Each structure stands twice: as C-alpha cells, then as structure tokens.
Amino acid sequence: MTNANKPTNALSALPLPTRSRFQPILLGVLALSLIPAGLLAVSRVAFENSEKNVALVMDYPALSQQAKETGQDPNALLLRYKKLGVNGVAVFEDVVASTIQRGDAYFLSGAELKARNPGAVGINPEWSYMRSIKPGTVENLVNSFGYISNAGAISEAQAANLALPKDQRPELPAAVYKPLDTNTLNVAGQKWIGWAVDPRYLPAGPDTERIKQLQDEGFVVVYRPWPDQRVRDPGKNWPDVPFISFTGAKVIGAGNPRVLQDIKDRLGKRIPTIIENSVQQGLPELIKDRTAARMFSLNPSWQNSLTPDEVASKFGLAARERTQRILYLRPFPTQGETEVFLNNLTKLLATRDIKITLPIIENYAPSDVLRWLTMLGTLSALLLLALSYPLPRLGLLVAGAALLGALGLNGFQPYPGLALVSAITFPALGLVLRRKQMTDWYLATGFSLLGVLYVSALGTDKNSMLGLDPFSGVGLTLVLPIALVALSFLPRQDIRQTVRDLFAIRLTLGDVIMMGVALGAFAVAVLRRGNTSAVGVSDTEAKIRQDLQDAIIRPRFKEVFGHPLLLLGLSGTLPGYFTILALLGGLEGQASILNTFSHFHTPLLISLTRALLGLAAGLLLGYLVVWALRVAIRIWNNYGGWNGGNPSSGTPAAPPSQPSLGETLRRPLMPRTEARMTDIRPEDGLGLDRLGMKP
C-alpha cells in the first residue's frame, strides 16, 4: 500500500476488534447455514419466475362513461381496447337504481306517488315506492335485504370464545335475518311495494347477462360487490368469476365473524384482490387459509394529472418489481390518450417478458426445516458481532437487546424476528471486524450480501410476498446498523471513564454545524424510503427515476451515494472526525442493501440486480471521489507550488510557528484540556490519546 492509501490517524485511533477464540466456530456455522439459505433462495426464484403474468383489467363504468361521451357502444370500445392489450373487465355489482334504469322496475317517492293519486289511501309521503315492470323484480328485491336480528347473541358468543383455547371454542350461532320494513299497496289497480328506506342505492346483485357476454368474448372478469349490512346472505348470488375485488375500506363481513365466515365459504375458488396501498379491514383474516392477488391502480384524479407515458411507466413498474398480478386500468379523458397509454404499457410488459393472460395465483410455501437451519447462521453472525466488540461484555448486552427487541417487535415469532436481526447485523458485521483501509469495503459488502440470503430465507412467506405482513421494524434496518458500528468505537476502558471523557469534549461552532448537517442528511435518507415517503422528490429526480426504471432496474440512490461515502471514510482522506462521519454515513449504503431485500413483494432477482447496480455505480463513483479529493487537498496544501514554491508577490511569508493549512484541515475535534490548542498536532487523530482512551 502506498502512503496515499494509508488510513489517517482518525481510523488508526479507533480500537481494534477483539479476536474471540470462538470466531472460527461461528464462521463455520455461518458458512454451513448458507446451504439451506441458498436452497430457499433458489426455490423462491423458481416460484417468482412462474408468476410473470398479469391481467389488464379495465374499469367498466369508466369505460362506459367514455363510450357515452364519444358516441360509441361500450362493448365496441372495449373490443377496440382489447386489441391493444386489455384482457379483463371489472364489473361492479348492480344497485337497485340499475334495475330502474334498465326498465325492469318503476320508482316514485311517496310524496310524488300521493300527488299523482290524491285519493289513494295508505301512501306514506316519507317512504319510497316501487313496482315491477319485469315480473318479480321488486318482489325478489324485498327478499334480498334485511338485518341480523340476533347480532347481540353473536357478539356474546364471540366474546366468550375469545376466553377459550381455539380447539375448545363452540361454533358461533347462525345469523338470523329479518326483512326490512316494507308494505304492499294497491294504487289505481297497480301493485306498489313501499320501503321505509330509499332502496335505489341498495346492492341488487350481479348483472349476469353482461358478465356472461364479457366472458364469452374472452375477458377476465373481476367482480366488485358493494358492502352493505342490509344485504341478506351476502355472497350467495356472486357470479362464477376468477376474482373478487371488494369496494370500500372493509371487506364484507369485517367486524362480524359469522358473516365473515359465510364470505369465506362462499368465495369458493374465487380469489380476492389486495389493492396496493389500501389493504381493506378484514382481508388478512379472510385469506388466512387461502391466497389473494395483488392489484394495482391509480386514483383517477392523480392519473389525469400525469401523461400516458408516466402512467404506463408506473403500471409497468408495478408488474415487474412489485408482483402486481392485476393491473386495474381506467381510461384517460380522451380515447387517443388511452390508446397511447395502452400501447406504451404493453410494450413495457413485453420487454420484461411479462405475459398478459389469466393469472394463476398460488401461495409460496418455504420449507420450515430449511428456515430453522438458516436461523443458526443469523444467531452465529449476531454472536460473532458481539464478541468482536472491543468491549465484548458490552457487545453481548447490545446483541441480547437487539435479539429481544427484534423478537418483541414481531410478537416473538421466530421467522420475522430473526429476519430483522439479519437485516441489522450483517451490514454492521464487516465494519466491526475490519475498518482500517479502503479494501475493507469489500469485506463489509460481502457480509451485507450474505445477509441478503438470511433475510430472504427467514422473511419470505405467503403474507410477506403479498405485501400484507412484512416483519415489523423494516425502518430500523436503516438506523440500527449505524448504531451497532458506532458502539464498537468505544475504547477498551471503564465505560464510566468514557462517558466522562465524552462530556469533556470541547465543541466549536463549526463542529455543531457539521454535526447538524450530518444529522439532517441522515434524516432525509431515512425518511425517503418506501413507495410513499415523508420527503418527496423533485421533478428532475422523478424524471431520472422514471427513465432509469424504464430502461433498466433503477438502483437505490441511498446506495449510489452511500457506497462512495463509506469508501471515502475508509480511505482516511478526510481530516479528523470527518473520516468517522463519512464512515458512519456511508454505512447507510450497506444498510440499504438489506432494506432493499426486506421488500418481499419485489422479486428476489430484481432486488439483486438493483443492489449490484448500486454497488457498481457506488464503487466507481467512490474511487473517483477519493482520487479527486486527494488531488484537491494536495493542491490546497501546496498552493504556493504554482509559483515555484514561493509566496505570491507582495505576500509576506507565514511565520514558522503558524500551523499549515493542511494541519488545520486535519485538526480533529478535541476535548477541553490545559494544553494550548496550538499544541495539538494532526497526528493526534481524534484526540483519543488525550482522553486517555487507548485503542
């Protein structure tokens, strides 16, 4: 290694890790546990490759509205869009008003009926009245609605069941319905049925004729029933379709276990959908013993604020990187925009080998035996981290707290709890073991990539792949690795002395400003995570992101900037504590790798490609930054060299006792001591020797 590549005293002043006699054993267990973790990764990739297909489902009411505005038949417009890739239709359950619009029934308010028939007896002006045009229409509707008369008994039985073990709970009583308050009148020789409520907005079941026509034309039908507690036997008249997509914030039966059980039974082979970013109440319980299909859509108002190209990009991303199996489409305000959107979307899907067809939805079921064997590797890594601390007893306390905290956050469930442990341990492990030179970046990265296998093996199951139940504490994966590494900086001395030394450190205004900047940058990095973050992006960055994700798999910007920062910290190029800040800040890139793989609804190979692109870009940028900074510092410190090594004309030479600019740049954060600040040498690094801290 050349002198330029040697770390500064800021790194040298850090305490060396403890070399535990158990290290070879723990590394051996870690290596052996890679076998089951690798097998689980292979099985997951095979499963994900079998699901590279989607259905393009058009919202039928929105389509019908566009057809009316353009003077077309809705079915003809739908068939035109079918040629552009649409292979599915979302059909909503009819409401009573639909039967009126079709001419199957006639509706009048009580006041209007009375005004038309002034001598009629028994008309209540506050009621609503209907009569059948198509025989039996209104009579059948009367029998379709009611209310649960024994709701109290069901609630009491449910409360009693909660106090009993599952295998001893008696079956809940059947729901007993009573019909809504109605009456029958004969007015001017016509039979009218009166309703105490306005029936026009009550669910009236499926339009079976339209659904059959759409199925005959080869469309995948998604049926969307309305939730209404006044519907008797909900789900009993659902059509034979592959998918059910509930409307509203709750699935039908949410909050009522008896009704929810009925819905489970009546789903049959129909598969419920999970709407992206809008998981409905009761859905996790409904699909507990079955599967579901992830469905992606955009709010109409948001969609209309974007261009067709931008919307196509978002739907393409959802299908490729978020395993969305049903793309729920709505037409744009104009037919031309809609056609451009469909053309762009189908091209994006084709370039990613995603087929447009009827999705076959299955559950991913990893081997429990392999997952338990994988846990041994995670526990070995955590113990190795603890024993490698300069203060091993502190390391054991920290590791124990991390393990209990991760399990506690996840209800002491072993799989998600150990997945979180893996995600916070492996990014920190490499930098606790070695942090003296730039090449140690490869060791840290190697451990982070190993951690990917453990996070994937332990965290991936049916619910996490559906985006319903990832392990709790995903946000901590960006924070805790930094804390674990920072704690390993504590020197080998009495912890009480270290606390006293830290309180004695003298801070300057510059120190406070730099620490504030560092904390602000860290906060932005943590807050800008997930698909919807607390800190937005600029229009320029959004455009860059879209172009990257359309052309390739976009790397995470946390990694593109984090990896160079870590390389810069390990190079020792920066003066004093700036090296330590760069090292800790750069650890965000390593933590981001594990955070990327904690999004289990993203295919494993997609996440791997994203991580590798981030590593390649970060490595190249890091070496360029280190080289450029070294050149800049050399020029800064030797500015006079441009003038033959002499001061510029008219500039007096600096007195010999004045510290050079290079020394000033390297001057570290120092504690308050009796020594004069001019006596502080750049060789003092962090000044730990003045604190009595021996590395």
Question: What is the H or E stretch that residue 319 is in?
Answer: helix 308-321
Q: Is residue 657's pLDDT more than 60?
A: no
Q: What mean pLDDT do residues 131-145 have?
A: 89
Q: How far apart are CA 85 and CA 321, in angstroms?
A: 20
Residues 211-244: pLDDT tens digits? 999 999 999 999 999 998 888 888 989 999 999 9
Q: How far apart are CA 294 and CA 78, in angstroms?
A: 23
Q: Is the dihedral of CA 242, 248, 253, 254 positive or negative?
A: positive
DSSP 8-state code for residue 178: E
Residue 121, Cα to own-chain centre: how many angstroms? 63
- Residue pair 241/223 in contact by the 8 Å Cβ criterion: yes
Residue 290, Cα to own-chain centre: how many angstroms? 22
**CA distance from start to end of the chain:** 22
Assign 679 a pLDDT band (cuts: 50, 70, 90).
Answer: very low
Phi first, then psi: give them for residue 505, nearest 5 degrees: -65, 135
Q: Is residue 646's pLDDT more than 70?
A: no
Q: How far apart are CA 276 and CA 296, in angstroms?
A: 5
Residues 611-637: pLDDT tens digits? 999 999 999 999 999 999 989 888 887
Strand partners, 326: 55, 295
**Per-residue model confidence (pLDDT) at position 63:** 96
Encoded tokens for 279: 């998981």
Q: How far apart are CA 272 and CA 252, in angstroms?
A: 11
Encoded tokens for 130: 């209907």
Cβ atoms within 10 Å of 109's Cβ, excluding its own: 14
- Residue pair 262/232 in contact by the 8 Å Cβ criterion: no
Share above pLDDT 90 across residues of the chain, in percent, rounded to a whole number: 54
Please list, in sequence order, all residues whose beta carbon lies within 8 angstroms of the beta carbon of residue 215, skipping any fewer than 6 positions away. Answer: 221, 241
Phi first, then psi: give them for residue 326, nearest 5 degrees: -125, 120
Assign 532 a pLDDT band (cuts: 50, 70, 90).
Answer: very low
Please list, in sequence order, all residues whose beta carbon lies within 8 angstroms of the beta carbon of residue 193, skipping any fewer than 6 positions away. Answer: 129, 130, 131, 138, 139, 142, 182, 183, 184, 185
**Per-residue model confidence (pLDDT) at position 522:** 63
Question: What is the H or E stretch that residue 146 is in?
Answer: strand 146-148
Q: How far apart are CA 281 and CA 251, in angstroms?
A: 6
Residue 178, Cα to own-chain centre: how many angstroms? 44
